[in-house]
Amino acid sequence: MSSSLWYLYEFVRKKWISNFTCAKTDVESTIPQKRYRKIPVMVELPEKCISCGACAGACPCFAIEMVKNDEYNKELPVIDDDSCITCALCVESCPTGVLDIGTVKEDTDGRAFSVPKYTNLIIDEELCVNCGLCKNACPVDAIDYNEKTHYIIDNDCIECMECIKVCPVKDAIKTYDEKLLKEKFDKTQYLKYDRLTKLDNFNEDIEDGKNNNSDNNIDNNSNDNNNGDMDADTTADITMNNEDMPRIVKSLCIRCYNCVDVCPDGVDLDNYTVNTDSWEDICLAVCPTTAMRIGAVEKISKITDKCYIVNEDACIGCRICYKVCGVDDTINISSETRMPYINPKLCVRCGLCYNECPVNAIDLTDTKIVENTCEVRKAKDEFRNVIRQDLDEFSKKYLASKLEINKTMEKTINKSIT
């Protein structure tokens, strides 16, 4: 009887009954299963490749890129091992049997597949002229317009690149992929680690310097006389023009927080502002979309041999072209004819003025003809402005001398009367 009670006591004490009723494998005792995958596709016979690009088109994860090979003097497929999922679709699509995939497997423990490198499109609001060509060319209506600029709906975009083809401004529509993001993220973590280690070393130096307060006080007293000059120099260095002030382009920001990681006190992404007192230029190097920007941007046209010109004989002077133009100082009004003329150096050839003209007074012609017309109009306007300024100065001097003459005449008349 006592032995049976003892066994019952042991069952309760060691929780054997609960383990029997709720049998589960202990997590600590499990051994994770090894993960393997096939070795990615290899280019076995590069001399037989005809550079058709069928393998790159068949790859579902965009792991194949056609790159020019100097040895064979043709484009050959280059396979990204980290993106390849060994589906063998490229092997099946190859017409010459250049690619091969074997049955050998490799251990993938601790090695994950890369994300497929889809291309993302984004519109730069500082370069966009709001001509609407991209919106009209998009086959899936993935481009919309808000109060300021056009923007791309990411979930609807199919990366057909038709918007880039019709966009008249260079780099107004930018592209980035996961590969670029990975490079920027890696660089960000390196710079962040470097900054934190330097900060730790700086704090250690401060702790070590607390024991030398007397020496520091002596140095501070010796430099008191030069504080005014130092402050003046510092103020001169900090003073920046508006064009040199760092800024964040809201339409390009994807909120990756790379800039915040490398410069936590200088960037405020919630309000899209930059604190110039603590800002460092290293955030420019880690931004994948150039949303962090400094300096003015220039709108450069893709077309240079042709340009739009205003036919003054047909123009009615409504100035609609002047109002709809999205590039500053491109269309000016002549002070002589009161008609608009186009500056080909600033015109991006978007055709917005051409489409909006109610009397078809704007034509597309050679750029040299437009340059000559623009130079003539500018020269005449400058000449008229010089003459106008001279006349204004002469009239001011004439009025001043006339007033003096009247005063002297009044004085002489008053003297003669008295």
Question: pLDDT tens digits, residue range 61-103?
Answer: 788 889 998 888 999 999 887 778 778 888 888 888 888 776 5
Q: What is the mean pLDDT of the chain?
A: 78
SS3 181: helix
Asked if the model's pLDDT at residue 147 lies above 50, the reply is yes
Residue 220, pLDDT score: 44
Residue 219, pLDDT score: 46
Mean pLDDT of the 153-164 span: 84
pLDDT digits (tens, 9 = 90+) for 263-322: 888 888 888 888 877 777 788 889 999 898 888 888 888 888 999 999 999 999 999 999
Residues 6+ away with beta carbon under 8 Å from 324 = 352, 353, 356
Rounded CA separation 174/182 (Å): 17
Residue 409 confidence class, pLDDT cut points 50, 70, 90: confident
Residue 344, pLDDT score: 92
pLDDT digits (tens, 9 = 90+) for 162-175: 899 999 999 999 99
Which pTM does this prediction carry? 0.57
Residue with tokens 């003096």: 404
SS3 180: helix
Rounded CA separation 196/262 (Å): 9
Phi and psi based region of residue 2 (left: phi greater than 0; alpha: psi -120 to 50; beta: remaining): alpha
Residue 353, pLDDT score: 92
Residue 123, pLDDT score: 93
Output the six-digit token pair for 298: 């220039």
Every domain of the chain with CATH number 3.30.70.3270 lies at: 33-114
Percent of the chain residues topping a pLDDT of 90: 18
C-alpha closest to that of 334 among 291, 302, 295, 379:
379
Assigned CATH topology for domain 306-390: Alpha-Beta Plaits (3.30.70)
pLDDT digits (tens, 9 = 90+) for 18-44: 565 555 555 555 555 555 556 677 888
Q: Which is higher by pLDDT, 247 or 203? A: 247
**CB-based burial of residue 259 (10 Å sphere; 0-12 exposed, 13-18 middle, 19+ buried)?**
buried
Percent of the chain residues topping a pLDDT of 70: 75
Residue 26, pLDDT score: 54
Residue 361, pLDDT score: 93
Residue 260, pLDDT score: 87
Q: Which is higher by pLDDT, 109 or 148? A: 148
Correct CATH for 33-114 of 3.30.160.250, 3.40.50.300, 3.30.70.3270, 3.40.50.720:
3.30.70.3270
pLDDT digits (tens, 9 = 90+) for 360-374: 999 999 999 999 999
β strands within 133-288, DSSP E: 143-145, 150-152, 173-177, 247-248, 267-268, 273-274
8 A C-beta contact, residue 381 and residue 334: yes
Residue 221, pLDDT score: 43
Mean pLDDT of the 212-227 span: 43
Residue 321, pLDDT score: 93
Every domain of the chain with CATH number 3.30.70.20 lies at: 120-176, 306-390
Residue 7, pLDDT score: 62
Correct CATH for 120-176 of 3.30.470.20, 3.40.50.150, 3.40.190.10, 3.30.70.20:
3.30.70.20
SS3 153: coil
